[in-house]
Structure 1
Amino acid sequence: MERLLGGPPIRTVTVDGEAAEFLTDPVLVRRVLVKDGRHYGKGELFQKARILSRAGLLAQDDAQHRHYRRLAHPYLRTAAVAGHVPVMEEIARDTVASWRPGQPVDIQAQMCRAASGIALNTLFGALPRETSHMLGEHLAALSWEMIRKPLYGKATRWRKPSQRLATAFSAFRSLLVSCVAGRVNSPDDTAGYLSALLTDTGRGTVAALSTDQVCDEAVMMLTAATVTTASVMSWALYLLAEDPLVEEKVLKDLAQTAGWDAGAPSGHGHGPPGYALRFLMEVLRLYPPVWLTCRKALAEVTLGERVLPAGTHVMFSSYLLHRDPDRYPDPHRFDPDRWLTTRPTGQDASYIPFGAGARGCVGEVFAWKELETLLGAVAREWQLTVPPGSRVRAAPHTTLHPERLLMVPHPR
């Protein structure tokens, strides 16, 4: 795939028999996402057989998308994220407390469990302990199946999801329907985004969501928050174990700081980012969870020297953009200190782990704080090692995740 970097900035490719224009120029990608973002809608090449919401935040209609983005924002802005930290820390501690010295753990499954608990208890309000546990277990199972779902190719050509994915989806959604049903007539103002969805009456041309659509939106929000965090944290813990010097620097930084400001998570704040943040920035550079993206031209557009008709699929890969040697010298080397001199500027799309523009990740601030919290909870308590002879490979599925990652915990 990296051979595309040496070619023209726009190249026609075929995905599952459909033509698309593939972009490798970060300036053109930013044009699609930001400057001319209104002329592009969600692409359809990687939407096949997905079982997520088609309304709310994933709506094709810009007005509807903006409405639900504004609805979610109060629960994901900097001040709200700061209030979520105690819950994040408690769930992170509970997750790592279940590990036993010398007994291998499936890191991806564990990170799915932690991230699902955090998503449920911060974005959807306090739940009875038993309900929270059941929802969390089913959400973790659904998220793991979503992570492993092929994004394109022969494996996506069936009309229905795989049996495991369908079963996990049905089990989680059924529990969620019961939970939502109990709040329809008496929504709790403290119940986060779920309460906002239930009490929303729509605005202008945007109709309120039905109860079924609220459930679908909840599944989408919770699953998206879980699969991306679990994938990034799995890579982070693996890379931490691979380099003792990096691990030592991360631990030292975590011990000396009380965490970075959630309002400036991407290194845009004053002064260079601390080492733990640089470490996570580098993890996201090499292994962005949303590694391949598609947009569709809503009208005729001019992109570079090309005129593209309405309906044209436009693709780009953050994985490739982040490994461009013109932007990142020695791009395959894991080097957190490159962020001392290389800073995301927002002038192009050379670093977009959370996307950019009006449809960029609404939960970016939340995600940075969650990653920091999980990294600290694990690294302070356990040193993780990979069993001898293990070979960890990248699996480019719905997210870019380790194909298999068993690690052995040793107490600090």
Structure 2
Amino acid sequence: MNSETSCSDDPGEREVPAFQFSRMENMLRGRRLRRLTVDGVDAVFVRDPALVRSILVSESKNFGKGELFRKARNLSRVGMLSEDENSHRHYRRLANPYLRSAKVDTYVPAMRDIVRRIVSSWRAGDAVDIQSEMCRIACAIVVGTLIDGLPPATTEALSERLSRLAWEMIKKPLYGKSAARAARPQAAKGLSRARKEFRELLAECIADLQASPGTEGGYLSTLLADSDEKGNRVLTAEQVCEEAVMMLTAATVTTASVMSWALHVLSRDPLVEERLLKDAVQRRSGSPGHDQGVSSYTMRFLMEVLRLYPPVWISCRKTLADIRLGDCALPAGTNVVFSSYLLHRDPEHYAHPHRFNPDRWLSIHLSKVDASYIPFGIGSKGCIGEMFAWKQLEVILDEVTQEWKLYPEPHSHVRTAPETTLHPRRLLMVPQPR
């Protein structure tokens, strides 16, 4: 086996500090696969985008959930996160009517109203915790569009509780000593309390729907109505609650992290901001000559934010059988790790990979044979809410930048935090009216 595909079992080669990005880039440079110890677990780290696509698409039936990182994400063991492939596909189909492109377009007016209401409460010159506010906005949008028929006060309370849960989840460490400390009862108190408070109110909403047959509750009603061929309900109220918590948090923690990075980038690059604002004006005016899709500067901007700051920055799968991945034989039970952060910054696919350049997307044609760009994943387990996420990002970006120009807090230094999502460690910004 040549050095390019080395899977050496040399113990001295495997003891590597995990997720120090620059060090990982250097260690994996020129290697498609390398054996490492991650969080005390033996794993194979995959850097080759063609092999990652094989894991996620062509050979996906041979890979299940890995042992790493599940402690931070596995909110539900039923429905869409079930180990059973048929169950997973079934619950994707149940969610699809609420997330398909045509339906998402109908949410736009409500999305805009929600963003305007929240950002209008900001005060000029007073520093804003951007991540906290992006959590509030994303959670209000998700609750307000996916769950119907709630009294306004309940909708507001549910979105505020979801916002607290989302923020606790975003900053939860995934690995190493930090994760071990965060898992201790005292340290985990904030997350446990936020989850308990949200689930209690959500359970009340579900109970109200059960007590009022015929009441439309959107996604919750669909889960409650799911039945087998004999008409028996498939999920208990508790399981409906678990599934809804999973869906709602997944739809918010990623958006909040991406939007935080987007606003950070804009505050530090006046030229990018100027072009984005010009594009937004043309889009709002309905100009017949306005570009759509990747030709739109707004879309290119968001694609570049997601390239450099993918919220789901690392993933793990486990082989379900003895297989070959490239030139490497992997026995059943092997943990296989890949990082969208590293894939998105591969110099073989992206010139000057660490530079923020939305115009690179004018000449890049995403390959269908590799996974060089996977902010939403790919294959049968890819993010079902991708269309919802793109629209939500566009609307939030548009409404925030219409009303406010955001400046970095003086003397602030923003660091990258690779935790449950890839987010800024601390992001305070000062709004001034346009």
Band of TM-score, shorter chain: over 0.9
SS state at 1:365 partner: helix
Any unmatched runs of 5+ in structure 1? 261-268
1:288 corresponds, among 307, 310, 315, to: 310
2:161–2:198 Cα contact (<8 Å) kept: yes
CA offset at residue 191 of structure 1?
A: 2.4
User: Does 1:23 pair with 2:46?
Assistant: yes
2:226–2:233 Cα contact (<8 Å) kept: no
User: Does 1:313 pair with 2:335?
Assistant: yes
Q: Mapping of 1:123-202 within 5 angstroms?
A: 123-157=146-180, 158=183, 162-186=188-212, 188=214, 190-202=216-228
1:237 corresponds, among 249, 253, 263, to: 263
- Which digits, 9 at most, give the CA deviation of each residue in 1:322-346, with x for residues without a partner? 0000100100100000000013233
User: Does 1:348 pair with 2:370?
Assistant: yes
CA offset at residue 187 of structure 1?
A: 5.0
How far, CA to CA, are the matches of 1:277 and 1:72 in structure 2? Answer: 25
1:323–1:225 distance in 2 versus 1, CA, 3 Å: same
User: Does 1:377 pair with 2:410?
Assistant: no
CA offset at residue 259 of structure 1?
A: 10
1:126–1:334 distance in 2 versus 1, CA, 3 Å: farther
Deviates more, 1:4-13 or 1:238-247: 4-13
How far, CA to CA, are the matches of 2:168 and 2:162 in structure 1? Answer: 10
SS state at 1:218 partner: helix
SS state at 2:295 partner: coil
User: Does 1:88 pair with 2:111?
Assistant: yes
SS state at 2:212 partner: coil
Instruction: Provide the residue aligned with 2:84 in structure 1.
Output: 61
- Which digits, 9 at most, give the CA deviation of each residue in 1:10-44, with x for residues without a partner? 11111221111110000000000011111111222
1:136–1:68 distance in 2 versus 1, CA, 3 Å: same
TM-score, reference length from structure 2: 0.89
How far, CA to CA, are the matches of 2:27 and 2:233 in structure 1? Answer: 43
CA offset at residue 381 of structure 1?
A: 0.6
How far, CA to CA, are the matches of 2:277 and 2:365 in structure 1? Answer: 23
Letter in 2 for 1:371: L
SS state at 2:75 partner: coil
User: Does 1:224 pair with 2:246?
Assistant: no
Instruction: Provide the residue aligned with 1:402 in structure 2.
Output: 424
Instruction: Provide the residue aligned with 2:128 in structure 1.
Output: 105
1:345–1:98 distance in 2 versus 1, CA, 3 Å: same
How far, CA to CA, are the matches of 1:271 and 1:56 in structure 2? Answer: 33
How far, CA to CA, are the matches of 2:293 and 2:259 in structure 1? Answer: 25
Whichever of the two has the greater Rg, that structure is 2
How far, CA to CA, are the matches of 2:98 and 2:294 in structure 1? Answer: 28
Q: How big is the alpha-carbon RMSD for the aligned residues of Structure 1 and Structure 2?
A: 2.0
Instruction: Provide the residue aligned with 1:246 in structure 2.
Output: 272
How far, CA to CA, are the matches of 2:320 and 2:74 in structure 1? Answer: 24
SS state at 2:377 partner: coil
2:173–2:419 Cα contact (<8 Å) kept: yes
How far, CA to CA, are the matches of 1:188 and 1:378 in structure 2? Answer: 38
CA offset at residue 203 of structure 1?
A: 6.4
How far, CA to CA, are the matches of 2:329 and 2:390 in structure 1? Answer: 38
2:93 corresponds, among 70, 75, 81, to: 70
SS state at 2:244 partner: helix
1:210 corresponds, among 236, 241, 246, to: 236
CA offset at residue 186 of structure 1?
A: 3.3
Instruction: Provide the residue aligned with 2:5 in structure 1.
Output: none
1:108–1:231 Cα contact (<8 Å) kept: yes
Any unmatched runs of 5+ in structure 2? 1-23
Letter in 2 for 1:285: R
- Which digits, 9 at most, give the CA deviation of each residue in 1:23-74, with x for residues without a partner? 0000000000011111111222101255611111111111111110111111
Q: Mapping of 1:40-59 within 5 angstroms?
A: 40-48=63-71, 50=73, 52-59=75-82
- The sequence identity of aligned pairs, in percent, is 57
1:4–1:24 Cα contact (<8 Å) kept: no
The count of corresponding residues between Structure 1 and Structure 2 is 403
1:198–1:105 distance in 2 versus 1, CA, 3 Å: same
Deviates more, 1:152-161 or 1:332-341: 152-161
1:116–1:226 Cα contact (<8 Å) kept: yes
1:12–1:188 distance in 2 versus 1, CA, 3 Å: farther
User: Does 1:338 pair with 2:360?
Assistant: yes
TM-score, reference length from structure 1: 0.94
